A and B are shown apart, each in its own frame.
Chain A
Amino acid sequence: MNELSLKSVVLSSDKPICLAILAMGGQGGGVLADWIVEVAEQQGWHAQSTSVPGVAQRTGATIYYIELLGGHHGATPTLSLMPTQGDLDIVMAAELMEAGRSMLRGLVTPDRTVLITSTHRSLAVSEKIVPADGEGDPELVATAAGIAARRLIAFDMQRMAEAVGSVISASMFGALAGSGALPFPREAFEAAIRGGGKGIEPSLKAFSLGYEAAGLRQVAGPIRKPISKQFAPTPITTGHASLDAIVGRITTGFPQALQPMLLVGARRLVDYQDPAYAQQYLDRVAAFVARDPLPGHAIGQAAAKYIAVALAYDDVIRVADLKTRSKRFARVRQEMGAADQQLLQMTEFMHPRGEEVIGLLPVHLARIIQARPALFRFVDRVVNHPRRVRTGTIAWFLALYAVSALRPMRRGTLRHAEEMAHIAKWLKCADNVIDTNPRLAAEILATRRLVKGYSDTHARGAAKFDRVLSAVPLLEPRPDGADWLRRLREAALADEQGKTLEGALRTIATLDHL
């Protein structure tokens, strides 16, 4: 009976082209899906698209699914409304990690799938809220794509579209056309864009760029890595004797490996204060370099970097200085894309507290106020208000300019005295263990990374810094003490409240009892 029925049904071997688009709400995935359907139907194909937008329209990850079938039979096909793992011919991702998601979902398989992805990153909230660097490693996606996809077409379709005033759906559509994965001519794709909607001209431009990028190269562009750090070349002459002296001291008095970082540090501190301040920086670093027993000058490297960071602490004078610079005015105009005939006004959002103002005062005067809580409260009450500073107006500019003019007096301020005491304590801590546990000394120096931000954030960072360094006495005798301190630092950066850090500290306490 079964044999009979088998013979009675002749099955067609036609298979649709299956295509999935992974995008985030607001990226125009729906427009892209509509265009693809439009092209296919214009070419006499059957086309069916579906989506599950729902709340994902509000910035979440979502997927559009399309099936296309050449209409030879005349019969109406039954097309699926959802992708089957391992059964996709084309997967398009509107962002690099969405390409990663498509592979994790089993939508990309080496025998079938052309993976077309933009390489740009749009960071997820979970990546951005980390107090340190929470960005997922893009190279893992590149590696995976090399294995999972039959063919990979990857480049920055976002920037490409933006450059011509369009949106990513247009450059992705171009990449799809240029990939040759669909058997339709270029004109058919362009006709779909012309067929409706807004911004047809920019869309066609972005389409064209995407088409060419995909068609010409037919290979993967580089997956973007974090920007590499820029070290300026050693200047031969600076035009200023005190600066030449600094350069001379660095090039003759320090190991070659440390010189690029020292130059960066010195450059920053001259900019921050003056050449003498940079010389003091070199004094402090030199003290560590002289006693550094580690290969590759590990202690010296950490000292060169973090002592510069510590000495260039962020204070009111620095902020006022940076905010009033001519270069900044030009940069803001450029970043905001202001045209020549347009005017631009800046408003800064500042909220100075009593502490900051008192920190600006000469040490003895500031201490007098600090010793009188009522007076302190009074100053705070007067000062502690949000200020909308319109830097481009003469009055506000003068106010900021006046604060920045306090720079020569900085060494006499309370804030400076406090910072120097804090730095001295920190350096002492490293210095104490440099002979017994030199790797730990390097890690102590690198712990400075934790101190950042302003007001409350700064206080929290400083508290974490102190908590981490509180483990030094326990760690000093341990050969793996440096590794533990590094772990503590990483734990401190894992979350804002310091919960991970407290857990790590408890672990260390038990370690010691073992």
Chain B
Amino acid sequence: MAERSFRREVQDLKLGAGAEFRGEGILAITKALLQSGVGYVGGYQGSPISHLMDVLADAQDVLDDLGVHFESSASEAAAAAMLSASVMYPIRGAVTWKSTAGTNVAADALSNLASGGVIGGALIIIGEDYGEGSSIMQERSHAFAMKSQIWLMDPRPNLPSIVSAVELGFQLSEVSNTPVMLEMRIRTCHVHGHFIATDNQKPAYSLQKALANPRRDTGRIVLPPATFVHEKEKIEHRWPAAVAFIKAHAINEFFGPETAELGLILQGGLFNAVLRSLQQLGLADVYGNSQVPLYVMNVTYPIIDDEVAAFAASKRAVLVVEEGQPEFIEQAIATLLRRRDIQTVLSGKDVLPQAGEYTAEVLLRGLRSFIETHDRHLLGNAAPFPGPDAILSDPAIRALATVVPPRPAGFCIGCPERPIFAAMKLVEQELGPRHVAADIGCHLFSILPPFNIGATTMGYGLGPASASAFNVTSGGKDHRPISVMGDGGFWHNGLTSSVGNAVFNKQDGVILVVDNHYSAATGGQDILSSRASNPGRQTNNSIVAAVRGIGVKWVRQIDHTYDVARLRDTLREALTTPQGGPKLIVASSECMLNKQRRTRPLLAAARKAGKRQVTERFGVDEDVCTGDHACIRLSGCPSLSVKHTDDPLRDDPVATIDETCVGCGNCGEVAEAAILCPSFYRADIIHNPTTTDRFLARMRATVIGWLQRRRDASRIVFPESTAS
């Protein structure tokens, strides 16, 4: 069950020919897959392509009707391997993941797939997680396309172009026996737009038919001598076939005048940004008319030599607008021009930055510089674009830098991982700092304030493996490293690469598996150990059973992460026990975002029906709080903040908890375990109290009220202030 429900979007998947689809880019792709007669879809969730997986997970009926098989793959490697169904059978298959993180994982299968080639269209939807909003290392998927010879499409970022790229991509794959990557940038995945739908198509060749008619061909298996033949095939057959197809279908596009002094060669995905920059230079308009010729590469690999050569030959200078580095396309074009002895000036990363996202400002600067150098009078009559430089140099604006705080992502309100790191912080205070190997997932937010825990992250499920070098005794037991790994990483790859590795090598360290019952960071998808029952998947597979099965001897399961004291004590035991080998702690509590989404409607309904119910929220007695904020340094919860008081004797703001508190318990547990202060309290509100509840409450109120009145009467105090 994902964080968001896609029930409405599932309806969009059913649209027939002529109907208008409205929605975001990644969902348009999903619809386009069904329109293209895809036979099977797999993938691994992650921003920015999670919604493709999520909507299909909610669309079982649509998929069943069409006979499309959808799988939530265990990893990108599993997803890529799934494409092997298209090696021997003419079945279209599509897989998706975030890249380059996911492509790294998938690389083994991709190499094998690309070597033998495919006969059914194989499409890999790549969520290119690059630039603002990215959560991974900044690299290009382009390198993978080149090294394995997989075609790379980078269509213009509007829904009709993207949708047509899906259909063309399948065809391209089939005519050239080569898998095709379809690159989707972050903003393109989330762009809102529309296109006119066509009917969904049942797969032309079904998976059942393939099973009933098994085929094999050793020529397609990646084993010598076939592999040597594959490489030749790639160059002699598949490449020319692809080039011919791309030319014939005019997949790459030309805009602007046919003849001009200058021209731009750009990746399709950058089209809108380049056009806006030209518009700001007075050289284009919002309807796509340009005074500068544009060669738009909707396929960025392979490069269509003849198209590029013809475009460049008629110009004095061309600019290659290519995001990311190295500048593979520019290098290829340079080679091409040199080989054909075309004397057009080639510009690219000389006027545009080598690294980083090509934002509107970057493009504007680069384009202006290119045009000023090679055809200055083009810019002649345009009014200069009013940039922000004047206002940005104003001291009042510059002063903002001193007060605008960084606001990185962090643990949500009530997150079950917060108390885990609070406990680690307490252990750190007690036993001293140590090496902590982090992993990928929400738990990585521990590296930020207030916890500041975690030294490295080496990949999904690789946290414990990344601490394996420290398996030495000279440091003594006091310095055992801790490695953290989420349940998502654990099942992705961690069970073998990290835990198995630690068992086999007798790794003397502590492995902390943070189990929040979902692949939480990517949107709350179910995984093997999810506790929910999911009719289409086998869930409830125990992490503890798995690690015992693989040979871990010292295992502790904590099924309530909010028990800070217990976590602290368990961690301490793990760090100090004389036992060798990995010490593995599974700390489990449900992701609060998902829990709230799951339980809120149920609770509201029960409350309405008059059932007794208790809701919990935390509060702070502001006259007991002394304003030292030690509690916040062990929490960072968005609902726990500080506020100024009107008390003249206080200099510093006191802690306060707002109404977004979900009563997770962390504040109280931390105050208790760290012996902070008694200002926290939990308020249990009893809805629809029973007769017993009411009787007890009345009794208590009578006794307590009497005592309070007695105390108030005897107390000498100044009268209540009526100050204003």
Contacts and interface: CB of A to CB of B under 8 A. Distances in A.
A350 B652 CA distance: 23
Given A15-B286, A323-B621, A335-B619, A129 B659 contact: no
A353 interface: yes
A49 B259 contact: no
22 contacts: A2-B261, A2-B377, A59-B407, A78-B158, A80-B272, A82-B360, A86-B388, A100-B404, A131-B628, A136-B403, A148-B396, A196-B8, A226-B653, A342-B687, A347-B682, A348-B681, A349-B668, A351-B678, A397-B704, A453-B677, A457-B626, A457-B628
Contacts of A312: 649
B719 A239 contact: yes
Contacts of B537: none
B630 A135 contact: no
A303 interface: no
Given A231-B648, A348-B678, A325 B708 contact: yes
Interface in B365-392: 375, 377-378, 385-388, 391-392
A147 B397 contact: yes
A128 B284 contact: no
* Residue from B284, B377, B626 whose CB has the most chain A CB atoms within 10 Å: B626
A183 interface: no
* Residue from B260, B396, B646, B717 whose CB has the most chain A CB atoms within 10 Å: B396
Contacts of B290: 9
Interface stretch (B116-124, B131-139, B486-494): B131-139
Contacts of A362: none
B684 A345 contact: yes
Given A50-B191, A226-B644, A456 B649 contact: no
B469 interface: no
Interface of B: 8, 22, 47-48, 129, 131-135, 157-158, 186-188, 190-193, 256-261, 271-273, 275-277, 280, 282, 284-291, 359-361, 364, 375, 377-378, 385-388, 391-392, 394, 396-397, 399-412, 442, 445, 448-450, 521, 565, 617, 619, 621, 623-624, 626-630, 632-633, 636, 638, 640-649, 651-653, 659, 667-669, 671-678, 680-687, 689, 693-694, 697, 699-700, 703-705, 707-709, 711-712, 716-719, 721-723
A43 interface: no
* Residue from B361, B399, B626, B681 whose CB has the most chain A CB atoms within 10 Å: B681
A230 interface: yes
A103 interface: yes
Nearest to B394: A147
Nearest to A130: B629
B723 A123 contact: no
Contact of B646 (A126, A148, A229): A229
A7 to B, nearest CB: 10
Given A1-B261, A82-B360, A129-B629, 19 more contacts: A11-B284, A14-B287, A61-B407, A80-B275, A81-B191, A82-B132, A84-B280, A129-B636, A133-B653, A230-B721, A233-B722, A238-B719, A309-B649, A326-B708, A344-B684, A346-B681, A346-B682, A349-B669, A453-B676
A312 B650 CA distance: 12
Given A54-B48, A271-B717, A132 B651 contact: yes
Given A50-B190, A104-B397, A342-B689, A6 B291 contact: yes
* Residue from A324, A329, A350, A401 whose CB has the most chain B CB atoms within 10 Å: A350
Contacts of B672: 349-351, 386
Interface string A52-82: 1111111111110000010001011111111
A280 interface: no
B633 A84 contact: no
Contacts of B712: 326
A133 B651 contact: yes
* Residue from A54, A270, A457 whose CB has the most chain B CB atoms within 10 Å: A54
Nearest to B157: A81
B187 A82 contact: yes
A256 interface: no
B400 A144 contact: yes
B678 A350 contact: yes
Given A52-B187, A82-B187, A136-B404, A336 B668 contact: no
Contact of B629 (A87, A131, A138, A454): A131
A109 B391 contact: yes
A467 B626 CA distance: 20
The 5 closest A-B pairs by CB, nearest first: A52-B133, A106-B388, A136-B403, A232-B721, A60-B409
B97 to A, nearest CB: 15
A47 B409 contact: no
Given A86-B387, A103-B397, A344-B683, A394 B700 contact: yes
Contact of A332 (B261, B391, B673, B681): B681
A211 B565 CA distance: 49
A163 B708 CA distance: 33
A279 to B, nearest CB: 13
Interface string A37-55: 1000100000111111111
A267 B720 CA distance: 10
B694 to A, nearest CB: 7
A5 B259 contact: yes
A345 B188 contact: no
Contact of B410 (A33, A59, A261): A59
A144 B396 contact: yes
Contact of B135 (A55, A126, A131): A55
Nearest to B392: A106
A123 B654 CA distance: 13
Given A5-B260, A130-B629, A326 B709 contact: yes
Nearest to A30: B190
Given A9-B257, A60-B409, A81-B191, A53 B47 contact: yes
Nearest to B665: A349
A496 B191 contact: no
* Residue from A98, A104, A122, A349 whose CB has the most chain B CB atoms within 10 Å: A349
Contacts of A85: 360-361, 387-388
A268 interface: yes
Contacts of A78: 158, 271-272, 275-276, 286-288
B291 A394 contact: no
Given A129-B449, A148-B391, A232-B723, A10 B289 contact: yes
A25 interface: yes
A295 interface: no
Contact of B703 (A25, A97, A344, A394): A394
A373 B672 CA distance: 25
A112 B386 CA distance: 10
A461 interface: yes
* Residue from B364, B621, B647 whose CB has the most chain A CB atoms within 10 Å: B621
A69 B286 CA distance: 9
A242 B718 CA distance: 10
Given A48-B192, A50-B192, A129-B449, A81 B678 contact: no
B133 A53 contact: yes
A336 B687 CA distance: 13
A81 B653 contact: no
A9 B282 CA distance: 12
Nearest to A454: B677
Contact of A125 (B273, B636, B651, B721): B636
A244 to B, nearest CB: 10
Nearest to B314: A1
Given A54-B186, A452-B628, A332 B649 contact: no
